[in-house]
Structure 1
Amino acid sequence: MNTLVRSFLFLRRAVGVLGLALPFVVVIGKELLEGGGLLGSLSGYYYSDLRNVFVGTLCAIGVFLISYRGYGRIDDIAGNVAAVAAIGAALFPTSPTAPTPLERAIGTVHLVFAGIFFLTLAFFCLFLFTKSDDPSPSSRKAARNTVYRVCGAVMLASLALILINALFFDAATVSLHPAVWLESLAVIAFGVSWLVKGEALLADLPHERAGAVQTNPA
């Protein structure tokens, strides 16, 4: 495996690890340091002792995505859009409890960046990660495509449910903290998809690698 391919795999795995770890680290870390139960959303952990972890992780994901280069212009544009959105969501926090007009405006910007971030990542899963130059993809590639599509669907469904709940059921479900569960699910799906793309999971078997010329490792 050449150096360039190793670099691609490292970036994908790094993004996947950060995404997969984020909800566990901030939720469990906040409980250990502060207690008090779940917050209203994953973004709300900006206002906890885990603020630096939350912001730092999103910024790190953004930097890795800026450094990431895919197999075509669309891949690069999507990576840059997701990177800017991740950093924007980190730098413009969600609205706190009883926000001022300025904090409410900043919170709206956060929601826009967060929405763009997840929509772009779902686009990666559904349309970019599933591509292949091999007319006869391996069994592992077929399995990876299934994972990508499931992860993309989970992200889109999570966003839709968050919106539906906020519009129609927020007061009735506030004690259940649906947003933090759904946001965490979307972030975990994002992390899993990038770990698979980085071949940390479901990598091709040795005989499949030997039998195929992989100009586009996926």
Structure 2
Amino acid sequence: MAEASIHLSYLRLRRLIGICGLALPISAVIVTGNILPSISHYFYSTANILFVGILSILGVFLISYRGYDQEEELISDNLATTIGGMAILLVVIIPGKYVWTDFPLDWNYSANCPTFYCTDEGSVFRVIHFVAAGVFFLAMSWLSIFNFTKSSNAKANKVYVICGIGIFVIILITVLVELILKLNTSEYFIFIVECLMLLLFAISWLVKGKALRNGIEK
């Protein structure tokens, strides 16, 4: 009975982690009524409480998630989620750069910081924020490809691999386009790739939590 209760608790936790991934971009856009250049921009918007709250909850959930510790694994569930959780909390603690010209004109933003803390254009903290976000997605990609696929469900394993590889490929494309080639992309390019990665992240965790029980996880 106790074992069954623990199993159900893990399923709920996995679902909640997946829901957090979906909730952030959707709720931020609804609350502000605007799509910004990146999800990190919402830290400086009226959706600040959602950005901080949802990512903080996600970070705590990931750190709390133990999963399976198997000696033969290079990186265990527990290590991967702890790294991911700590990275996403760092994203919250150290926000992205504040560029007031990126915000809609009707918000009447100025060069004055609208929140208790801002990261300027040339700050080293901007790099830390960016790297922390990358570490989070890389950890979730690894988890989906190598840890979640320990499942005996072949259909679910295919979904995990697709989601994990998808996240990794998007990271590579983003680094290539933004940092190496420095191509002129849409002002919403980062927002789009972040949403795609969060979607893949959410699908992977929702499947693991058997939220799609009637479709994949039977």
Match of 2:167 among 134, 144, 155: 155
Query: Is 2:194 the partner of 1:194?
Result: no
Alpha-carbon shift at residue 28 of structure 1 (Å): 2.6
Q: 1:17 maps to which residue?
A: 19
CA offset digits 1:116-149 (Å, max 9, x no partner): 10000001100000014xxxx3xxx111111111
Residue 181 of structure 1: aligned partner: 192
State the shift of 1:165 in Å.
2.2
The gaps in structure 2 that reach 5 residues or longer are 71-75, 101-118
User: Offset at 1:96?
Assistant: 1.3
Larger relative contact order (C-alpha < 8 A, sep ≥ 6)? 1
Where 2:7 maps in the other structure, the secondary structure is: helix
- Indicate if the aligned counterparts of 2:207 and 2:217 stay in contact, CA closer than 8 A: no
Structure 1 runs of 4+ off > 3 angstroms? 98-101, 202-205
Give the whole-Å Cα distance in 1 for the aligned partners of 2:46 and 2:217: 41
* Structure 1 position 128 matched with structure 2 position 147: yes
Task: Describe the SS at the equivalent of 2:96.
Answer: coil
TM-score by length of 1: 0.81
- CA RMSD, 1 decimal: 1.8
Shift of residue 85, structure 1, vs aligned partner: 0.5
Q: Decide which structure has greater helix share.
A: 1
Q: 1:106 corresponds to which residue?
A: 125
- 8 Å CA contact 2:28–2:47 kept in 1: the answer is yes
| Mapping of residues 15-94 of structure 1, within 5 Å | 15-31=17-33, 37-72=34-69, 74-94=76-96
Q: 2:217, 2:58 → 1: CA distance?
A: 26
Instruction: Give the TM-score normalised by the residue count of structure 2.
Output: 0.81
Equivalent of residue 156 in structure 2, options 144, 160, 176: 144
Find the aligned partners of 1:204 and 1:52 in 2 and give their Cα distance: 34
1:204 positional shift: 4.4
Contact kept, 8 Å, 2:155 with 2:217, in 1: the verdict is no
Aligned-pair identity (%)? 36
Give secondary structure in 2 for the equivalent of 1:130.
helix
In 1, are the aligned partners of 2:43 and 2:51 still within 8 Å (CA)?
yes
